[in-house]
Structure 1
Amino acid sequence: MCLRKGVTVEHILSCAKGGFPSIRHNEIRDVSTQLMSEVCYNVSIEPDLQPITGEPSSGAASAITTDGARLDITANGFWGSRFEKTYFDVQVFNPYAPSNRMSSLSATYRKHENIKKRAYEQRVREVEHSSFTPIVLSLTGGLGNAAFTCYKRLASLLSVASIPSPPTVNTRPTIQGAGVEAILSVKRDQHYNTTMSWLRCWLPFSLLRSSIVCIRGARSSRGHLLNWTCCHGPSSPRIKSAHSHLCTLNF
């Protein structure tokens, strides 16, 4: 557990000690990347953005303009042809944090999506000549509007629901549009509703596992054991209550 005195459940779910929020983020990023690699081209994790060399900046003050900036995922052919690149950035926020709990959940999703867009969208569009999609989720399993649309698109690419009529023996399917789905959806002999149901199960349960780890996990640094006598042990009634509450949330 976190060694801070008077620790609350809200703090536990957001505390960076032990690296649990990063594990939660990386789980969503890695599995999303793996699924995109089945239906997209040139998929990579944490690609470096090109440095800004004299381009006029007309974006928001919060825009990221430093060298070495990176986004979580890049993929070609997600929203268009194989040459159209899209950058994705994942964020999993805690709806119980003090900065979020005073707003409605829908407003919180919009806030975090807009933060991501102000930070990266103009740079991706004008320097990388690509599109940008923020993937914002809450740790209770919900999706922002952009993330929901993104995973619907991913499910359609992975499924066979939108396959056109099969080509003849001597004809190759076209590469653009439904042709991509026709070529690569053969890997998963599933209809769209089956694939989307799987995604809707995988996302909440993945977030649930990581949230339980945040509550129950030992926040020791690598190579150093945690001294349980100086913090709340895992059998603390308060931690047991938080664990039970989290497991009964409506995911």
Structure 2
Amino acid sequence: MDLAKEKGSSSWLTTLPLEEHGFCLHKGAFVDALALRYGWCPPNTATNCVCGANFTIEHALSCPRGGFPSIRHNEIRDLTATLMTEVCNDVCVEPDLQPLSSETMARRTAITTDNARLDIAANGFWGGRLERTFVDVRVFNPHAPSNRNTSLEQCFRKHELEKKRAYEQRVREVEHASFTPLVLSASGGLGKEATVFYKRLASLLAEKWDQPYHQVINWLRCSLSYSLLRSAIQCVRGSRSSRGRAIKTIPPMDLVSAEAHLCQMD
């Protein structure tokens, strides 16, 4: 019930099924979405995962087999970057950070490798047109054992602090830019930093599109909600093994030569 009460997590239930905005689900996905919302087990799910563990909703949202948690992260990253291109300059996805030379970081958990990179960088989001902003996205599973016995507010705060301890000092002192961690739950909720970020984004979009702010922020919340919902359904229904995947067969060379000869004769 706490997950269902998160602001934005129920946006998909209160919108018209407008296909041009991506606000639609087929009937099987709608049934799965209701099951996920109320904590039920979706019908006709597998008993065991291909990794050998029991197949539960908790496991499905976290299992790395098939790459579905990464896809969930990338969907939010790409949606956010696309919207930022409407109002920001020099938007870059997965920008590399400058390598460190003699700089030292105060925290042990700070990322100091030369190949470090964040999810999004853009100019002109928080400040002037040339002020750089770096953004890093995290979508966590609230059903995971590490989060299950912690309140949602504490979960969001914990993940935001982990991101800040890893990147904030380096971004501020080396890149001379600002850093914002975007933490979302797989059920559709937003952390405090993400809430402020998307409100700012909606305000900039409303000004550019000449639309009321409340309409733009509602549309933005619906877009995030549907993206996370589809990702969660994919984690439950997606194939994590090679069984059932289409295999592209390579025709024999003699057949290719024969077809090429026929084409020349024609």
The answer to whether the 8 Å contact 1:159/1:192 transfers is: yes
**Structure 1 segment 114-193 matched on structure 2, within 5 A:** 114-160=161-207, 185=208, 188-193=209-214
AA matched with 2:192 = N
Q: Distance in 2 between matches of 1:49 and 1:5?
A: 38
Kindly state the Cα deviation for residue 226 of structure 1 after the two structures are TM-superposed: 4.7
Structure 2 Cα separation of the partners of residues 107 and 37 of structure 1: 32
Q: Which position in structure 2 is the counterpart of 1:215?
A: 236
Pair 1:75 & 2:122 matched: yes
Q: Give distance in 2, aligned partners of 1:68 and 1:5.
A: 34
Q: Percent identity?
A: 62
For the residues of structure 1 that align with 2:234 and 2:73, how far apart are their CA atoms? Answer: 13
Amino acid at match of 2:97: L
Distance in 1 (CA, whole Å) between partners of 2:223 and 2:104 is 42
SS where residue 61 of structure 2 aligns? Answer: helix
Letter aligned with residue 223 of structure 2 = W
1:196 to 2:196 alignment: no
Higher Rg:
2
Matches within 5 A, 1:1-251: 2-3=49-50, 4-57=52-105, 59-160=106-207, 185=208, 188-220=209-241, 224-226=242-244
Stretches of structure 1 lacking an aligned partner (at least 5 in a row): 161-184, 228-251
Report how many aligned residue pairs link the two structures: 197
SS at match of 1:100: helix
Q: What secondary structure sits across from 2:147 in the alignment?
A: coil
Instruction: Return the alpha-carbon distance in structure 2 between the equivalents of residues 7 and 52 of structure 1.
Output: 43
Offset at residue 108 of structure 1 (A)? 0.2
Pairwise CA RMSD = 1.2
Which segments of 5 or more consecutive residues in structure 2 lack a partner in the other structure? 1-45, 246-266
Contact 1:49–1:70 (CA under 8 A) maintained in structure 2: yes
104-113 or 197-206: which moved more?
197-206
* TM-score normalized with structure 1 length: 0.76
